[in-house]
Structure formats: structure tokens, C-alpha cells
Amino acid sequence: MKHAACPNCRGADLEDFFTIPNAPTQSLVTIKDRDEALAIPRKDIVLTFCNSCGFIFNSEFDTSIDYYTQGYEDQQGFSPTFVKFLSGVSERFIDKYGMRNKKVVEIGCGKGDYLRLFCEIGNNQGVGIDPAWVPGRGGEVPGVSFIEEFYAEKHGELRPDCITCRHTLEHIHDTAGFMQTIRNSISGSEPILFLEVPTVVRILDIQAFWDIFYEHCTYVSPGSLARLFRATGFEVLDMYLEYDNQYLFIEARPVDAPSQKIHPLEESIEELKEKTRHFVEQINIQLAEWRGRLTRFKEEGKKVVVWGGGSKSVGFLTQFADLDAIAHVCDINPHMQGNYIPGIGKQYVGPDFLEEFKPDVVIVMNSVYMDEIRNDLAGRGLHPEMLGL
């Protein structure tokens, strides 16, 4: 079913600009059987631009699918590079707002890694809320507890000093409804909101097709995110880009009167629309270059491995599965190893497997990890050609 109204502003002035046909509807669910992985349903991704607020979303997104309670696996904390980044960002935020010895609620806490980190850094108490939380994953941290359900207005009774929400909004179709739920839940209190999402600006600028996949139904920019926050009763305190400009952070607080504060990072609706035009002009060139590169590797008999499982690998492999040029997908998360990739059928392997396989080419799904991965491979006596996305 095609959505006829913008989930951000409810406007109807919409334009489709890019389609990925037959994309797997799941990318992070853990599947032990190859046939089951290949049987994952496929649906079109239709990126649509709202001319009223600049929001980009998948207008064909199926909201009836259970995406997150069937073995959803999204931990990133096995990477020292990632933990260092997240610790630094959190320490700066905690110092900036005096978030020490406070109460924190994390919406969409996953397995609880970030909430534990945030509470350890600031000596805070925390409650994580997520239907995909799994008991027993991660160590016990005093004052940290979890609720295995979706966030709702009733959770405002927790009266937090801070609400954090990382890499969750991009999975939510009804963004306005979600933010309004948060605003309604904190009526009478004034927590600081601290959200992190991927930014669509980078996707458009470099044609990062690997960051477009079905579970991400929402693609925000600084401008569209700030407009959403203002429309649902918040004032934007700060916004900034991190992690090679991949992630957008927003800090905000609830206000009673509509905020008129515009952040310098915000782009105009027309500026973002121009980026979609550039994306459309360049994306087929980008896809053709990668297809040619992978075809050449196959013809030369080179053993090619993708490093970095999860959504990015599904987004990447969806475009080139017909070539059968990639032998394996490697990931350091032990909870992914041995599972089969939804819609693709490749089985995740761990780094130890590569010692015997000896790949000729390693395609790194996120260039931020290039040095970490190169050092890991060198420590195993492996020096393949490395290509980073």
C-alpha cells in the first residue's frame, strides 16, 4: 500500500525519486537456515520527497511486518573504534548538560550496550525500553533496568532527566506520531532529548546506496529533523554531524510555545531537493562502476569478501546478488556468525575463518573501520586489497 501523506508533516505534495525493486524486507533478523533466509519477503523501496517539509521516506513501506521481535541483531559494541566514538560523544553531552547522577531513559535501547555505557560514564540510573531487548545480553550495571516493549505515553511516569534515542527514528514510519508520543509522555517535566540518526545528506551526496534498505523507512536531514522537532513541541538546542558525517545528533528540550529557533546546520527544502536531483543523476554511474568492478574480480578468479554484516551488507549485496561475485560476509559480532543473510543466503563468518580462506579483496562496509580491519587482517598475516565504502 502506498502512503499518500508525509509521515513528518502530513502533507500530500510528494514526489518519488528513486526505487529499489524487490529488496529484502529484513536485514538484521537472525536466521539459522539458508532456505528460510532466501524466503524472506521482498518489496519495493520507493524513496519519496515531501515538498512541504523536505522529509524523505519509503512511501511503499509495509507497516504490518514485525521487524524487531524475531531475533533482531544490531549490536555494534564489539568494535573498539565504535566504542571510542560513542564514549567521546556521550562524555561531551554529559558534561554539557550536567547529566551526572541523573535518571536516563533510552528509547530503542537494543541489547542495552549504550545505556550501560551512558550510565557508567555519568553514574546515572537508566531504563531501556525496546521490544527487541534480550535478557542476559550484556553485564549487569547497578541502577540500569530494561522494559521489553515499545515506548508509550505511560513511560512518562519514569520522569527522566534525559531521554536518549539512538538509531531508532529511521526505523519508524510515523515519525510525527512517534515524536508526539514522546512529547505527550513528558508533559509537566523538562528532560533533555538526545537523538542520533543516520543523515540522508551523506547518502545523497555520495550515492551511498548501501545505506538504503527496507528496515530504514525514514531518511532525515538536519532541516527535516529540526522541523519535525519544532512541530511536535521541542526547541532544538544543538545539532552536529559525527562519524565521518554519517550520523546526525540533535539535542532538544520541550517548550510550551512553538520554537522559532533555526540551527545553522539546517538546509532549506529546496537545497535538499537539489541533492535528490544530483543523487538521481549519479546513482546509476555509481552502481555501474561497482558492477563492473565486481565482474572483473570474478573473471580474474579473485576471492572477494565483504567485511561488516547487517543492514549495509544487505543494502550492498541486494544490488549485485545476481553476480555471485562475493564469497563471504565477515562480521566480528559473534551473535551474527553462523546465521544466514536475509534475502541473500550467504552465511556470516568470523575473522578467524579468513585465515584459511585468504581473501584477495575485502570490501569494508564502513570506511571508518578501515584501519581497525586492516590491522586485524595484518595480525593474521593477511594483506588483501581493501576497498572502503
298-328 confidence digits (pLDDT tens): 999 999 999 987 788 889 999 998 999 999 9
pLDDT in tens, 192-204: 999 999 999 999 9
pLDDT of 72 strictly over 70: no
pLDDT in tens, 15-71: 999 999 999 998 777 788 899 888 889 999 999 999 999 999 999 999 998 766 555
Which three cell numbers mark 74?
A: 544490531
Report residue 304: phi and psi, to 5°.
-110, 135
Burial class (CB in 10 A: 0-12, 13-18, 19+), 298: middle
Grid cell, residue 52, equals: 512541504
Which residues on neighbouring strands pair with residue 312, listed in sequence order?
none
Distances in whole angstroms, Cα of residue 39 to Cα of each of 25, 118, 151, 303: 11, 39, 31, 27
> Which residues share a beta bridge with 128?
106, 146
- The residues near 352 (Cβ < 8 Å, ≥ 6 apart) are none
Which of 132-141, 142-151, 188-197, 273-282 shows the highest mean pLDDT?
273-282
Which grid cell sits at 376? 586485524
Instruction: Provide the whole-model pTM.
Output: 0.93
Which triple of cell numbers denotes residue 56? 524523505
Nearest-angstrom CA–CA distance, 85 and 90: 9
Alpha-carbon distance 130 to 141, whole Å? 17
Mean pLDDT for the stretch of residues 87-110:
97
Q: What is the side-by-side order of every strand in the sheet holding 14-24? A: 14-24, 42-50, 56-58, 218-219
Q: Give the C-alpha separation, 389 to 387, whole Å.
A: 7
Given a cut of 90, whether residue 142 has pLDDT beyond it is no
94's enclosing H/E stretch is helix 80-97
Helix (H, G, I), strand (E, B) or coil at 234: strand
Burial class (CB in 10 A: 0-12, 13-18, 19+), 175: buried
Percent of the chain with pLDDT over 70: 96
Q: Which domains does the chain have, with CATH numbers?
A: 292-388 (3.40.50.720)
Of the candidates 246, 372, 354, 371, which has an alpha carbon nearest to the alpha carbon of residue 305?
354
